[in-house]
Amino acid sequence: MTSIIYPTTNLKHVEQLNIVRGEGIYVYDDAGKQYLEGLAGLWCASLGYGNQELIDAITLQLKTLSYSHMFGGRTHKIVMQLAEKLSSMLPTQNSKVFFANSGSEANDSHIKMLRYYFNVTGEPKKKKIIALERSYHGVTLASAALTGLPANHTHFDLPVDALGILRANSPHYYRGRKDNESEREFCDRLIKNLENLILKEGPETIAAFIAEPISGASGVVVAPEGYFPEVQNLLTKYDILMWSDEVICGFGRTGNDFGCETMNFKPQLISLAKQLSSAYIPISASVIPEYMYEAMVEPSAKVGVFGHGYTYTGHPAACAAALKTLEIYERDNLFDHASRIGFYLQKKLTEFKSHPLVGEVRGRGLLGAIELVANKATGQEFTDGSVGAYAKQACQNHGLLIRAVSGNSIAFCPPLIITEEQVDEMIEKFSHALQDTLDFCNAEGLLIN
C-alpha cells in the first residue's frame, strides 16, 4: 500500500482498482480489462477520455503561458475569454464569475460572498442558508456543512450551527411521502414546512436556499413537478436568494443546458464545476448577480483588497480546457445529442421497473438511478448499504463502472458523447450485474416477502 490517504473510501479497502488509461467512454485497468464508464468518472468526464482537441488546447496554453495568478489586478486573456463565454451561456443575465478549482470551493466561495454582500449592504443578520436533507454540496469545512449526508459529517465536528445551516425536507416523493399522500399533497406539505422554517428562523436572517436541481450523491432525487417553482415563489416572497448547485447538472446533463431549466426555476446564484472542463483540469465557478458584485466594489476599495481568492484561480491551462470544452459542446450540438440519448437512456432504465429488486427508477437526461429495495411492494429498504456495494462490484465484474449512492441506489451518468449502441451495452452489463445481485440477495435471505 502506498502513502496516499484516499478520498471518500473505506480506508481498510484501498487500491482495489488501478485505472491506467482511457479512450472515449472506456477506461482500462492495469491488467488490460476494459470498463464502460457509466458515471463519467465522478459525474464529470463529459467528453470522455483522450480527446485530442482538449489535449492540444491545454498543451498549447502550457507552452504559451503555463501559469499566472490573478491577485492585485493581474489577469490574462484566456480567463477573460472564458468568463465572457460562460456568462453568455448561463440562464441568468449580467452575471459575474469567480473561478476556483472544485465544486466544494465554488460553494465555499458563495458562502463567503453572501456574508460579504449582506454585511456591506447593512443586513448583517442575513447569514443563514437553507439546504436540503440528504443533500451534497462538497467537503470543505463550509460546503460539507451544507451537505446533508451522515458519512460526510461523522467524526468531523462540522460548524453547521455556527454557519447557520438549516435543513428543509428532501423532495423525494418515493421515500418522503406519508401514507397515501399524492405528489401534490406531498409538495404542499414540504412547501408549508419550508415556510414554517423561514418564519421560525426569521426571513431577515436567511440569505439563501441551495439545492441541486437533481441531486447526485444523495440518490439522483428528482423533485415532483412544481416543487422548485413553488420554492422560488416562497423565496421571492421572503427576499431569500435561490442558489442552484449545477456542479453535476450543468452543461447538458439533464436534457437542457442547465438543470434549473429542466426543473423550471431561475436562480440568482449558480455553482459550476465538473463538466465545465470535462474534468481534464480542475476548475469551478461561482456565479453571482451583477448587483451583488457592484455592492462589494467600494467596500473592497476601502479595505484595500477583496480578501478572497486561490493561488490557482483562473489557472490558464484550466481556462483553456474549459474554453475548448464549451466550444466543443456548441460546435457538436452535444446538449441536443445528450437530450436525445438521455431520453433513450431513461426509457431503457424504466424497463427495470418490474424487476423484483427494483423499488424506483428515476432521472432526467443522462442522469439516472435505480433504487434496490428489500420489499418491492412496500419499498422497504435494506438494513445497510451492502446490497448496493455488491451491485457496484458486480457491475465492475461485468466491465461497467458505476456508483452506489445513498445506500442502495445505483447511479448512471455516462459521458455526454455516449451513443445509443453504447447505452445498450451499458444496460446489458448492468442487467447481468443485477441478476448476480438478485442471486446474492436470495442466497443471503435479504428479501422480505
Indicate if 201 and 86 belong to the same structural domain.
yes
Q: What is the largest CA-CA distance in the chain?
A: 70
Indicate if 337 and 327 belong to the same structural domain.
no
Q: Beta-carbon neighbour count of residue 9 at 10 Å?
A: 12
- The DSSP annotation for 203-220 comes to GGGEEEEEE-SB-STTT-
Q: Beta-carbon neighbour count of residue 272 at 10 Å?
A: 27
Alpha-carbon distances of 177 from 20, 62, 86, 191, 212, rounded to whole Å: 45, 53, 39, 13, 20
Indicate if 252 and 118 belong to the same structural domain.
yes
Residue 343 belongs to a domain with what CATH number? 3.90.1150.10
407 φ, ψ (degrees, to nearest 5) = 90, -90
Which segments in the chain show pLDDT lower than 50? Answer: none
Asked if the structure places residue 430 within a domain, the reply is yes
Domain boundary among 306, 331, 356: 331
Indicate if 309 and 341 belong to the same structural domain.
no
Q: Is 220 left (phi over 0), alpha (psi -120 to 50) or beta?
A: left
Q: Which of 292, 293, 284 is nearest to 314 (CA)?
A: 284
Asked if the structure places residue 42 within a domain, the reply is no
Q: At what angle do helices 386-397 and 420-444 cross, to 10 degrees?
A: 130
Asked if the structure places residue 376 within a domain, the reply is yes
pLDDT in tens, 2-28: 999 999 999 999 999 999 999 999 999
Q: Is 94 left (phi over 0), alpha (psi -120 to 50) or beta?
A: left
CB 329 within 8 A of CB 335: yes
Alpha-carbon distances of 142 from 156, 160, 161, 163, 348, rounded to whole Å: 12, 8, 11, 8, 38
Residue 449: the pLDDT is: 81
Domain boundary among 331, 356, 387: 331
Indicate if 313 and 368 belong to the same structural domain.
no
Helix, strand or coil for residue 222? strand
Indicate the pairing of strand 95-100 with strand 128-132.
Answer: unpaired
Indicate if 259 and 216 belong to the same structural domain.
yes
Indicate if 364 and 279 belong to the same structural domain.
no
Residue 224: what residue type? Answer: P
Asked if the structure places residue 25 within a domain, the reply is no
Indicate if 277 and 342 belong to the same structural domain.
no
Asked if the structure places residue 30 within a domain, the reply is no
Indicate if 390 and 290 belong to the same structural domain.
no
Q: Per the structure, how many domains does the chain have?
A: 2
Residue 61: the pLDDT is: 98
Domain boundary among 267, 300, 331: 331
Helix H or strand E segment including 340: helix 334-350
Indicate if 66 and 168 belong to the same structural domain.
yes
Indicate if 191 and 204 belong to the same structural domain.
yes
Indicate if 226 and 94 belong to the same structural domain.
yes
Asked if the structure places residue 1 within a domain, the reply is no
pLDDT in tens, 109-118: 999 999 999 9
Residue 160 belongs to a domain with what CATH number? 3.40.640.10
Residue 15: the pLDDT is: 94
Question: What is the C-alpha separation between 119 and 122, in angstroms, rounded?
Answer: 6
Q: Which of 345, 350, 433, 449 is nearest to 387 (CA)?
A: 433
Asked if the structure places residue 44 within a domain, the reply is no
Residue 28: the pLDDT is: 98
Asked if the structure places residue 170 within a domain, the reply is yes
Residue 355: the pLDDT is: 98
Give me the domain span that covers residue 190: 54-331
Residue 224: the pLDDT is: 98
